[in-house]
Amino acid sequence: MTDWRSRRYWPRPERFTLKNRILLLFAAGVLIPFLITTLVSNRTISVILGDNLNSGVQSNLHQVQLSLENTIANLNHVSQQLAYPGSVGRLLEQYLAAEQAYDRAALIEDIQSELNLITFTNPSTGFVMYVFGDEDRTLFANAGLRGSFDPDELPLLAGYYGISYYGPHISKDHFNDQYVLSALRKVNLPGRDNVYVYIESGFELTQNILDSDNIVKTSSHLILDNDLRIAYSELPGVFAENDFFAPASPEASLSSGAGSPQNEGASDISSGLADNYYWFKGTSNQGWSIVSLIPKSDYEAEKRRWMQIMLMLLLLFLAVGLIMAGLLWKMVYKPLNRFNREMNNVIDSRFDAPPAPARIPEFRNLQTQFHHMKRQIAALIREVEQKEKRRADLEVEKLLYQINPHFLMNTLDTAHWLAVMNGQKEIDRLLVSLNRLLHYNLGKLGQVSTIREEVDSLRQYLILQQIRYDFDFDVRISVEDKVLETPVPRFILQPLVENALYHGLDDEGHIQVDVKRADGMIELAIRDNGGGLSKVEIERILHEPNTSGEKVGMGIGMNYVKRMIESYYEGRAELRLDSEPGRGTTARLLLPDEEGSTNVERIGGG
């Protein structure tokens, strides 16, 4: 059932047309790289957003750190003047030791004058006063104190070198509702350990730095002390001041209340998610930290915008890819359709149909090669037709010269015995040679013979010719032993010798027959010293199809030799004629090589 359903609903690969395959490949070529790019870029954009936010927080932290360090350094500098042995600290020591009211009033005026000078030369310095820790009283405050003073109620930012730094918090100045940074330093008066100087510095510069944070428009900030307690919060409804910021994991939330942090390793975590806010934390060298808070919805909005852009790009790329696939299909389909029509023309043997030009170079080259192949096929078909026609003509010609071999040979055998009975030795010799020659010609059904048989047949033919003519001629035969068994068509040697006999050979004439290897071929060369042939006669013999109009000798003729080697060797053999009038003729028949020592025989008189 599964196989049947798969065959029904999923088309076989061979049923996909070229058009569908091109569209599928282009769609895959567009979608797969784009999906991979989307996945990689999604991860990359998350890393980039996180890195940008982290780098922004670190940059903002650095600016806040510089601002706070400058403020803390200023507080430290001012507190040194107000503590002992600073100028104001010495006056305070004198004031506390004075017993006369007049002296104390003069010192009060001097201390206030010094305080005014210090606050004037340090514009960022605000509320200043001296605090007596165990006496619950203050002295020389330059403004009204808001409520009572308890340093344990202030958010401790850091503490080192005997100075405690607090803030940001609301000023203790009764008439100032701004956030400030403050410092509490022991005055170190001789004999008194309960005297402290409290100094406030403006927080406006740091506040401006926080407000200028444009990493995300809706970002908020926290300032944490050394114990990760929230000293300052721009989101008090979610992250209340004096609570501990203690994310236990990237998905952690705040631990509310005044207890200690739930996770001691929280300070090692630099980013995470808490109460639907992505947070990024940077810690200063003094131990306090700044946290940048970004609403999860705003952070995800960046990703959503990016996904919308990627989706639009996907649709655009897909549309462009499909359009390109369609254009490619049209560019490929038209040439293929032309090739299909031309192949149908070849199948129908219409080789002369004019080709339609192709505009694409590759198809044009392929079309040129195809038409070249088509012309070759047409030429081969014509050549095969001509060969078949010649073969048929040759068979007809052979039938015309064939007679009943039994009747002819029996008649010659009877004449032979009559000559023997009457003592006619010359006639007997003639009849024996003629009988052997005709037996070779008519008694073998096939066309294949050997060079040995060809040479034996030639000897019988030459005996008949020497008896027939009243002049002597010299024929020499030289044959390499190793080529004697080479298969050759029948009667290809005798017509060449016959041609030499019938073209001007006289009483002083001679014919040389050589059969040997020559230049990778077997060469059958017949040379005579007769009257020779003109170039016109040579061209007529070699190239005109019906040069054997006059049948001489056995009547086989040069035309038979040409057609036989063409049919048997299919272009691998060659017939050459070299002649000059009055200097003789050389006929060379070059056949494919088989094997070859030399056997020289002389036939005839001489």
- pLDDT at site 596: 40
Which whole number is the average pLDDT over 348-354?
Answer: 68
User: Higher model confidence: residue 121 or residue 2?
Assistant: 121
Is residue 140 very low, low, confident or very high in pLDDT (cuts 50, 70, 90)?
Answer: confident
Instruction: Give the E-state strand segments of 96-250 in sequence order.
Output: 125-132, 137-139, 156-160, 163-170, 179-186, 195-202, 220-224, 230-233
Nearest-angstrom CA–CA distance, 182 and 179: 10
pLDDT band at 430 (very low <50, low <70, confident <90, very high): confident
> How much is the average pLDDT of 441-467?
76
Report the distance separating Cα 242 and Cα 225, nearest Å. 10
pLDDT value of position 255? 34
Domain 444-604 has CATH 3.40.605.10: no
* Structure confidence at residue 272 as a pLDDT band (50, 70, 90): confident
Q: Delimit the domains of the chain by residue range.
A: 17-314, 349-398, 444-604
pLDDT, residue 525, reads 92
Q: How confident is the model at residue 514 (pLDDT cuts 50, 70, 90)?
A: very high
pLDDT of residue 4: 45
Q: DSSP assignment, residue 353?
A: P
Residue 257: pLDDT band (50, 70, 90) is very low
Most confident of 12-26, 83-97, 200-214: 83-97
**CATH, range 17-314:** 3.30.450.20
- Encode pLDDT of 379-427 as tens digits: 888 888 888 887 777 665 665 555 455 556 666 777 767 777 777 777 7
Q: What is the mean pLDDT of residues 301-326?
A: 77
Count of CB atoms situated within 10 Å of the CB of 67: 19
Report the chain's mean pLDDT, rounded to a whole number: 75
Other Cβ atoms less than 10 A from the Cβ of 181: the count is 27
Which one has a higher pLDDT value, 216 or 102?
A: 102
- Look at residue 478 in the predicted model and tell me its pLDDT: 92
Q: Spell out the alpha helix ranges (H) of 508-576.
A: 535-543, 557-569
- Using CA atoms, how far residue 132 sits from 2, 80, 188, 195, in Å, is 93, 18, 12, 5
- Phi/psi of residue 583, each to 5°? -125, 5
The CA distance from 122 to 71, in Å, is 11
460, 438 Cβ separation under 8 angstroms: no
Strands 510-518 and 474-480: parallel
- For residue 351, the model assigns a pLDDT of 65
Tell me the three state secondary structure of residue 587: strand
